[in-house]
Amino acid sequence: MRSPALALLAATFVTACSGPSFEGGVYRDRAVAFRLGEIPASWRRIDVTDAKMAFRDDAAQTTTFVNARCGQDAEDAPLASLTQHLFLLFTEREIVEQTLVPLDNREALRTVLFAKLDGVPKAFDVYVMKKDGCVYDFVHVSAPDTFEASRAAFTRFVAGFQTLPNE
């Protein structure tokens, strides 16, 4: 006969191991594990579809998210194509800056652009990187008038990114 406490402990263990976790700046799920850079105190974690992690800074009117996809397009598509794919639904896209930068011992394509979604202007700072069969997207979206003031925190956040062994 099993004790109720043992059954509860086993159920908790199975639940904890089956889903994604985020603790101490480290995200883990079945496919990937990574450490994020500095997360400003003004950023609060939010849940969004199609992203591993997302944060909102209400005062700065910004949203930041990180996504990772493994095995789908990591080897074949160039970084520029992967970046363009993120903005297929946007209109009046204007790339202001696009440069290759080092990130976690790889090249990442950093793109700053302005675009509209449903007629609403937005500003974006985006990094796209491929590593170990995965594509990582880092996206910072803001109203154009608060964009410059919020970019430094996003740059620090991305700079601290590091992939980890997925145990």
What is 17-86 written as a DSSP string? HHS-EEETTEEE-SS-EEE-----TT-EEE--TT-SEEEEETTTTEEEEEEEEESSSTTTS-HHHHHHHT
Listed residue (52, 71, 58, 77) closest to 137, CA to CA: 52
Beta pairing, strands 106-117 & 120-131: antiparallel
- What DSSP state is assigned to residue 164? -
Task: Yes or no: say if 110 and 97 are a contact pair by the CB < 8 Å rule.
Answer: yes
Q: What is the pLDDT of residue 35?
A: 96
What pLDDT shows up at residue 6?
A: 32
- pLDDT tens profile 5-27: 333 333 333 334 557 899 989 99
Ranges of residues in the chain with a pLDDT under 70 are 1-18, 72-75
CATH superfamily, domain 37-163, is: Mog1/PsbP, alpha/beta/alpha sandwich (3.40.1000.10)
- Cβ atoms 154, 133 nearer than 8 A: no
